[in-house]
Amino acid sequence: MTETKDKGTPSLSRRSLLKAGLASGVTAGAAGAASAARAAGDPLIMEIQDWNRYLGDGVDAAPYGLPSEFESEVVRRNVPWLTADAVASINFTPLHELDGIITPNGLCFERHHGGVAQIRPQDHRLMINGLVDTPLVFTMEDLKRFPRENHVYFLECAANGGMEWRGSQLNGCQFTHGMVHNVMYTGVKLKTLLEEAGVKTNGKWVLPEGADAAHMTRSIPMEKALDDCLVAWKMNGEALRAEQGYPLRLVVPGWEGNMWVKWLRRLEVGDQPWHHREETSKYTDLLETGKARRFTWVMDPKSVITSPSPQMPVSHGKGPMVISGLAWSGNGRITRVDVSLDGGQNWKTARIDGPSLSKSLHRFYLDIDWDGSEMLIQSRAMDEHGFYQPTKNELRAARGENSIYHNNGIQTWYVHKNGAVENVEVS
Amino acid sequence: MLKSLKALSLGTVLVALASTATAGDAAKGEKVFKKCQACHAVGDGAKNKLGPHLNDLFGRTAGEIDGYKYSNAMVKAGEDGLVWDMETTRTYLAKPKAMIKGTKMAFAGLRKDADLDNILAYLATYSEDAGNGSEQSEAPSQDSGSQVAAASASTDPFAAAASNTRDDGVFGLGRIALAEEVAAWDIDIRPDGQGLPEGSGTVADGEVLYTDNCAMCHGDFGEAVDRWPVLAGGHDTLTDDRPEKTIGSYWPYLSTVYDYVRRAMPFGNARSLSDDEVYAITAYLLYLNDLVDDEEFELSKNNFLDIRLPNEENFIADDRAEEAHYAEKGEPCMTDCKPGPVEITMRARILDVTPDDGGDDNAGVGAVD
């Protein structure tokens, strides 16, 4: 902390300046209005506004409704330097703008390996072949005749936080943690479909395959396939978005997002894993020793404070403040989230609010009375099996800095006196 | 004009073009263009990618698109009066480096006359200027609605059958997959060789194919262009600060190379290579990685399993649960958890690579895959 004091007020990023400036403008405006109100009253109250007088749009102005025009900043964003081309790239969920646990469909981050396939549902087929009694082909219509279930699950890319292994690099939880979303899926259990084809006794692995130009494949052990995987066609009640695999995707709860094959067209049963590109060249975790872990499927317990955060600075000065964040674990439910205001020296247990579902995002809050001094805020999630988040330095000590994937280290945000927030690491 | 041209069916455009310089088929040209689309965009809203966009190519002076960074050679060609039309574009696409020495386009060129005819016809559909110097007559607008309707009405004979129930199975839903249908989709290959098709290809054949299909992104020697994947080199770098994970240095199995090239490459034209061609490219990738040294080496289904990649032994099972921070921890500490005062050790703003944050011109380190 002394380091920054010596250097004086740090320069703020353009975005946070904009936000903080705008916000403090509002504060000043409000203060001005308050004093004006004492004299003549707040013009927003005293004067009749356009929206008080004139009629608005009728019911069909937007047959598919969109967010208010004043929410135009709430969008997915990408990091252009990260990938060579937008067709095989990624963008990020604006976590800092959201609350509760459900991610709106249009804000779920995208990751494609060959662009977004556009498939007419009538033209889509799902094949099951390999070590089964009867190789089958289903239409979408067939699939909707099976008993179906609804489940809320988070999907996290294994590389979420991958740019932070060597140190804090991106100012915004959208970029450091935004490769995650949380959606209610409707679909048929994978187990039901496999039983329909009849898995042979030596069938130990399942290979899902996508219909897009990348023909994405991953090897999934049969135990998981028969446990909680879904073949889904709805997200949050409506059809999957094209960028999320319309008309059909695999749901692999708690496991890395790359396995949730989109545009799912085939399920092959085999007696061994396939060791395809996405489970050898990619999605293997290189350790400091030069060895690499493979089949690191489960997403470890993780959390992040979404507000305040670099893109969501504090606009209101000292007094009541809501610290809000998300926590999740591929092992099951989150049972506890602790929050530190002093860089991990002391912790308070936060309040988990809303549904607490297995392998789903959890929303937590810590309501504080901010004294206006600098804070180093952190959150630490613990799941129902007692696993809790390590520090980034503990992860580096165990793995080195070249793992890319599975970075679930504790995040630190530095909250300045003026409310600006920065991504930092601490001792 | 551009819009109205595109609104016409491709057939109509062909009629218009048939009377002019080229006998190309724009629909076939669209397929040929898949070789180009990793780097070039054309059509509504096309933007510059690795290469400049190709809308209104014909009539364009070489090197004139604002905001695209051309090679000096291309800019000079434009200054010397090069204008793209059917003739000049044909010459360039046949052998780019022969026409403009120093062009940054890595593409080796289209060898077949038919491909050249067809791609020129295709590009002409996105050019107001037809590229032959003569005035193009406005083709009569044609209602293509009936054709579209006809296309969607052509029902898949299997669709109805697939929605019937079967006699067996738990629910009796779906239909039995035909053997030829399974064969059409089941192209996956495993390290034990399961799934390898009949066929073979040599390093020498692979070099030609690689140059045509792969080098524009992966580089002439597998060293990669921009942030496209590096395919060769990187030996003994896995413990370095910046490891280079290539087929030779990192990948455990050669079967993965064959499987992936066959299912997903070339980027933007998947499933276009024959089995022999994939063998040849795989052989060439072995050669680029110094894993074979004979240009006459032929990789086939028969000798495929003889090749082992050097890093195979260095993959281990997931043992995260044994890491100290998981295995040896009790209850998390709640008070006075650190020995001394907490210091800031690193700040993201020093690096400044956050998008929209004044850092757009800087590139950070790290990757998502």
Q: What is the pLDDT of residues A377-407, one digit of tens each?
A: 999 999 999 999 999 999 999 999 999 999 9
Measured in angstroms, the CA of B342 and the nearest CA of chain A are apart by 6
**Separation between Cα atoms, residue B44 and residue B38, nearest integer Å:** 16
Flag whether pLDDT at A23 surpasses 60. Answer: no
Substitution target from A171, A176, A423 for chain B, most B beta carbons within 10 A: A171
pLDDT at res. B69: 83
Look at B97-101, B117-121, B294-298, B313-317 and tell me which has the smallest mean pLDDT. Answer: B97-101
What's the confidence (pLDDT) of residue A27?
45
From the list B267, B334, B344, the residue facing A3 with the nearest CB is B344
Name the amino acid, one letter, at B24: G
Q: Average pLDDT of chain A?
A: 92
Among candidates A178, A172, A101, A168, which has minimal Cα distance to A410? A168
What would the pLDDT profile of A42-56 be if each residue is shown by its tens digit? 999 999 999 999 999
Q: Which of A1, A144, A169 to mutate to test the interface with B (most CBs of B within 10 A)?
A: A169
Residue A62, pLDDT above cutoff 70: yes
Distance between start and end Cα atoms, chain B? 43
Segment B134-157 mean pLDDT: 43
**Mean of the pLDDT values across residues A347-360?**
98
A333 shares contact with chain B (CB less than 8 Å)? no
Does residue B114 carry a pLDDT above 70? yes
Q: Which pLDDT score is estimated for B184?
A: 97
pLDDT band at A334 (very low <50, low <70, confident <90, very high): very high
Task: Tell whether the model's pLDDT for residue A427 goes beyond 50.
Answer: yes
The residue of chain B with its CA nearest to that of A342 is B342
CA distance A56 to B333: 56
CA–CA min distance A276, chain B (Å): 5
A11 has a pLDDT exceeding 50: no
The answer, yes or no, to whether residue B303 has pLDDT greater than 50, is yes
What is the model's pLDDT at position B158? 55
Q: Does A79 touch chain B (CB under 8 A)?
A: yes
Cα separation, A300 vs A328, in Å, equals: 8
Q: What is the rounded distance in angstroms from the CA atom of residue A160 to the CA atom of residue A154? A: 13
Q: pLDDT confidence of B65, banded at 50, 70, 90?
A: confident
What's the pLDDT tens digit per position in A244-277? 999 999 999 999 999 999 999 999 999 999 999 9
Rg (CA), chain A: 24
The per-residue pLDDT for A354 is: 96
Beta bridge mates, B344: A426
Q: Which of A14, A18, A192, A274 to mutate to test the interface with B (most CBs of B within 10 A)?
A: A274
pLDDT band of A34, cuts 50, 70, 90? low
Given a cut of 80, whether residue B215 has pLDDT beyond it is yes
| Identity of the residue in B185, B318, B363 whose CB atom sits nearest the CB atom of A127 | B185
Measured distance CA(B181)–CA(A406) in Å, rounded: 38
CB spacing of B365 vs A380 below 8 angstroms: no
All residues at 6 or more sequence positions from B123 whose CB lies less than 8 Å from its CB, including other chains: B29, B33, B42, B54, B57, B58, B89, B131
- Separation of alpha carbons A132 and A183, rounded Å: 31
* pLDDT value at residue B351: 67
Question: What pLDDT does residue B369 have?
Answer: 60
Go through the domains of chain A in sequence order and give each one's CATH number. Answer: 77-293 (3.90.420.10), 302-424 (2.60.40.650)
Mean pLDDT over B165-190 rounds to 93
How many angstroms separate the CA of residue B73 from the nearest CA in chain A?
24
Instruction: Give the residue from chain A lying closest to B230, CA to CA.
Output: A281
Minimum-distance CB partner of B366 among A77, A113, A162: A162
Nearest CA of chain B to the CA of A67: how many Å? Answer: 22
Task: Could you list the beta-strand ranges (E) of A228-347.
Answer: 230-235, 238-239, 249-251, 264-270, 285-286, 292-293, 302-307, 319-328, 334-340
CA distance A19 to chain B (A): 12
Residue bearing the bigger pLDDT, A334 or B76: A334
pLDDT at A31 > cutoff 60: no
Q: Which residue has the higher pLDDT, A203 or B226?
A: A203
Average pLDDT over residues B25-48: 84
Mean pLDDT to the nearest integer, B303-326? 97
Check if A138 contacts B (Cβ < 8 Å). yes
Q: Do A390 and B158 touch (CB under 8 A)?
A: no
Q: Taking all residues of chain B, what is their mean pLDDT, rounded to a whole number?
A: 83
Q: A252 to chain B, minimum CA–CA distance in Å?
A: 18
Distance between CA atoms of residues B247 and B222, nearest Å: 10
Tell me what percent of the residues of chain A surpass a pLDDT of 90: 88
A127 to chain B: nearest residue by CA? B177
Which residues in B lie closer than 8 A to residue A395 (C-beta atoms)?
325
Interface test with B, best of A82, A283, A387 (most B CBs within 10 A): A82
Mutation to test the A interface, candidates B245, B260, B349, most A Cβ within 10 Å: B349
Q: Quick one: closest CA in A to B347, which residue?
A: A424
pLDDT over 50 (residue A4): no
- Closest residue, chain A, to B39 (C-alpha): A85
Residue pair A226/A191 in contact by the 8 Å Cβ criterion = yes
Which candidate from B176, B245, B348 shows the least CB-CB separation from A422? B348
pLDDT tops 50 at residue A10: no
List of domains in chain B: 2-124 (1.10.760.10), 156-185 (no CATH), 200-314 (1.10.760.10)
B138 versus A221: the higher-pLDDT residue is A221
Q: What one-character DSSP code corresponds to residue A171?
A: S
Complex-level ipTM: 0.89
- pLDDT of A1 higher than 60: no
- Determine whether the interchain pair A169/B356 forms a contact, defined as Cβ–Cβ distance below 8 Å: no
Kindly state whether A343 is in contact with chain B, defined as any CB-CB distance less than 8 angstroms: yes
Q: Is A324 on the interface with B (CB under 8 A)?
A: no
d(CA A143, CA B120): 44
Q: What pLDDT sits at residue B156?
A: 52
What's the pLDDT score for residue B5?
A: 42
Paired with A381 in beta bridges are A337
pLDDT band at B94 (very low <50, low <70, confident <90, very high): confident
b or e along A131-170 (b: 16 or more beta carbons within 10 Å of the residue's beta carbon)?
bbebbbbbbbebbebbebeebbbbbbbbbbbbbbbebbbb
Both tokens of A140, joined, read 């979408």
Average pLDDT over residues A184-189: 98
Q: CB burial class (10 A; 0-12, 13-18, 19+) of residue B12? A: middle
pLDDT interval class at B368 (50, 70, 90): low
Give the contacts of B357 (CB within 8 A, at least 6 positions apart): A13, A14, A15, A171, A172
pLDDT at B19 over 50: no
